[in-house]
Structure 1
Amino acid sequence: MDPALETLTLPIAEEAVVLSSPARILFLRARAGQPLNDFGNHNLVCEQSFAPDRDALQRSGVTVEAEVEDTGFDAVLVLPGRQRQEARAQLARAVAKCRDGGTLIACAPNSEGAKTLESDLAALLGPVDKLSKNKCRAVWGLVQKANLDQDLLAEWLELDAVRPVLDGAYVSRPGVFAWDRIDPASRLLADNLPLDLKGRGADLGAGFGFLSRAVLERSANVAAMDLYEAEKRALDLASENLAAFKGKKTLNGIWSDVTKGLEGPYDFIVSNPPFHQTGKADRADVGQGFIRAAAGGLRPGGVFYMVANRHLPYEHTLKEVFASVDMLADEGGYKVLKAVKAKGGR
């Protein structure tokens, strides 16, 4: 069960919100689940830039796009992200996608800003309704141009815009992992990579491109890098942040769920795997999926370099699929691990 998705759709299911049939419905940051089956009589379009959720939506048979250009929807549903600037930008974008007189419905878990969501939506729309269930809060209101705070709408639409960060060394945007800083785990991994990497490499969970750029700046004999990233918004940033290497190196951005496998074969792979996805709980299984994908994507004798929170149990998985595993660093709560694939192919 997806509590936020279940709660988001309740106002429609319980007829607190009544839509004409068929209604044009847009679902931003959409996730797949049984409640979407109730929209069979409507024209539903889902927007999702996170590859695992995109894949699940496609399997369920709904229309899904990375970025929907159309406007004038009768209803817009949104599950905002946890990052405050990104969430406000998503609410503003939902307003902009809705027709005058249409309905906007948003939902968040109580532990992830539901109260703030309610006040933010009211600031944009005016009076809103709400219901609480599944430890979540759904909030909805009519999008009426005469009642909108147009200045606030314009301000919030720009909150997640691409911008220079780190004294202009990179571009990034709110909502992307460690969007305005270098994650200390990635920094530790970069500092412990050898300077003689060469051949074809891959970066799993590339984010806005810090690790790939560190590899290319320090190892002149690297000929190609494939950047795997589930979040298309981050992958687009990485492309900008590696612009200096275009035409000099072979660079490919691959918008995919790493755990489903790699293209390969690679001479080396670097990775700072995510340890949580939707929700805040640690997810060792995601990193374990990255490890198995790396083992499958390396050539015999290829090397995998990864960083992880010290407490996450990755060594056992590494030893299952690699011939040798060594710790290169252990500091600041993080560990850097090096694993070599057997020349016989294991």
Structure 2
Amino acid sequence: MRAEDGDDALETLFLPFIDGTLAWPSDGALFLRARDGWPLHQRAWPGLRCEQSFRPAADALERSGLSLAEEDETSRVPLVLVLPPRQRDESRALFARAIARCAPSGRVVACVPNNEGAKSAEADLARIAGPVGNLSKNKCRVFWTAPLEGPADADLAAQWAQADAPRPIADGRFVSRPGVFAWDRIDAASRLLADHLPHDLEGHAADLGAGYGYLSTELLARCPGIRAVDLYEAERRALDLARVNLAPFAERVALQFHWHDVTRGIDGRFDVIVCNPPFHAQGRGDRPDIGRRFIAVAAQALKPGGRLWLVANRHLPYEAELDAHFGNVRTVAQEGGFKIVDAMKSREGRTA
């Protein structure tokens, strides 16, 4: 994504290296929550490795020829770049991990848009790393530490390192963590869909955009005829939680977990698909095209006579896509600003 298309933070992050304020190290760098864009290709960045848990962004980095690092790597590097997330506990944990990955005399450099809490994020980094430098451009703030020999406040850094750790929610029914969708509660739309699932659903099911596994768990609890579930989730941090939350069903049904961007299509032939499709990407604006693509992918993946059970905000324009791909579509409920749809694929297997 080019900066003029809305990624000013990525451009501003690299500005201190372009204008000579900071030197790029010869021994390489690690970019946490990296995303692709023209600033990564405006010149050579020797030794740059990128870490990204969101599959569409990771795929884009790989397609650009950039090297990906695994989240559990522990090697230390002289420079760690960070694009902190909006969720503050998750952001603080990322700062703590960035400092831990710094080699002696290494730096952490981060950038946040002004309207997403840039000053607060800069203050957070300074609390555990000591004084920081900064500059502002493109309505963003880029800020960096002095050469580090570990955290300035080791106790606080250790505390923040656990700020986004998995923890029980919903009276202990699920494990979740800050930063994943609806991380500290059961999402109201997903709950409404679960409450309307018929008990006679059976066969091989898929959960598209599974999150931490709530819908799959409810599907298995309510529908004894389901014998297998494939969970597809683009955020790896959420998928890891789903593995934990679905573990009690592992002896009863076959479970598969896919770190996957559903919009690129899925393999398999399913009897049932449940779905609360995302309608935002990594920005704030509505993206109904994502939900429409989920519907098209579901139609391709269902067997003739298979059923899609979907929940969406009532205002999202999915009806034309549903009618184009399914032989029988009915709105089961409209409640609390949401709509529940049951769509059956025609026996002839027609899809647009």
Instruction: Give me the TM-score of the superposition, normalised by structure 2.
Output: 0.95
Deviation at 1:43, TM superposition (A): 0.5
Q: Give matches, 1:85-234, under 5 Å.
A: 85-145=89-149, 148-234=152-238
For 1:96, the aligned partner's letter is A
Structure 2 partner of 1:33:
37
Deviation at 1:249, TM superposition (A): 0.4
Structure 1 partner of 2:17:
12
- Cα distance change, pair 200–262 in 1 and its aligned pair in 2 (3 A): same
For each residue in 1:206-258, what CA deviation from the matched residue of structure 2 results, as whole angstroms up to 9, or x when unmatched?
Answer: 00000000000111110100000000110010010011111210000010000
3-state secondary structure, aligned to 1:248:
coil
For 1:6, the aligned partner's letter is E
For 2:144, the aligned partner's letter is W
Of 295, 307, 316, 2:311 maps to 307
Of 256, 276, 280, 1:252 maps to 256
Percent of pairs with identical residues? 54
Structure 2 CA distance for aligned equivalents of residues 267 and 111 of structure 1: 45
For 1:14, the aligned partner's letter is D
For each residue in 1:6-47, what CA deviation from the matched residue of structure 2 results, as whole angstroms up to 9, or x when unmatched?
Answer: 111111111111123x23100001101111124635111111
Deviation at 1:197, TM superposition (A): 0.7
> For the Cα contact (< 8 Å) 1:98–1:143, is it kept in 2?
no
Of 80, 84, 93, 2:84 maps to 80
Structure 2 CA distance for aligned equivalents of residues 150 and 126 of structure 1: 11
Structure 2 CA distance for aligned equivalents of residues 182 and 266 of structure 1: 26
- Cα distance change, pair 322–101 in 1 and its aligned pair in 2 (3 A): same
Structure 1 partner of 2:340:
336
Structure 1 CA distance for aligned equivalents of residues 248 and 20 of structure 2: 54
> For the Cα contact (< 8 Å) 1:266–1:298, is it kept in 2?
yes
Structure 1 CA distance for aligned equivalents of residues 214 and 328 of structure 2: 27
Poorly superposed stretches of 4+, deviation over 6 Å? none
Q: Which moved more, 1:316-325 or 1:184-193?
A: 316-325
3-state secondary structure, aligned to 1:61:
coil
For each residue in 1:165-196, what CA deviation from the matched residue of structure 2 results, as whole angstroms up to 9, or x when unmatched?
Answer: 11211111110111110000000000011111
Deviation at 1:145, TM superposition (A): 2.6
Of 18, 21, 27, 1:23 maps to 27
Structure 2 CA distance for aligned equivalents of residues 146 and 235 of structure 1: 32
- Cα distance change, pair 90–143 in 1 and its aligned pair in 2 (3 A): farther
What runs of 5+ residues in structure 2 fail to find an aligned partner? none
- Cα distance change, pair 129–45 in 1 and its aligned pair in 2 (3 A): same
Q: Which moved more, 1:36-45 or 1:177-186?
A: 36-45
For 1:287, the aligned partner's letter is G
For 1:9, the aligned partner's letter is F
Structure 1 partner of 2:48:
44
3-state secondary structure, aligned to 2:242:
helix
Instruction: Give me the TM-score of the superposition, normalised by structure 1.
Output: 0.97
Deviation at 1:66, TM superposition (A): 4.0
Of 272, 280, 287, 1:283 maps to 287
3-state secondary structure, aligned to 1:307:
strand
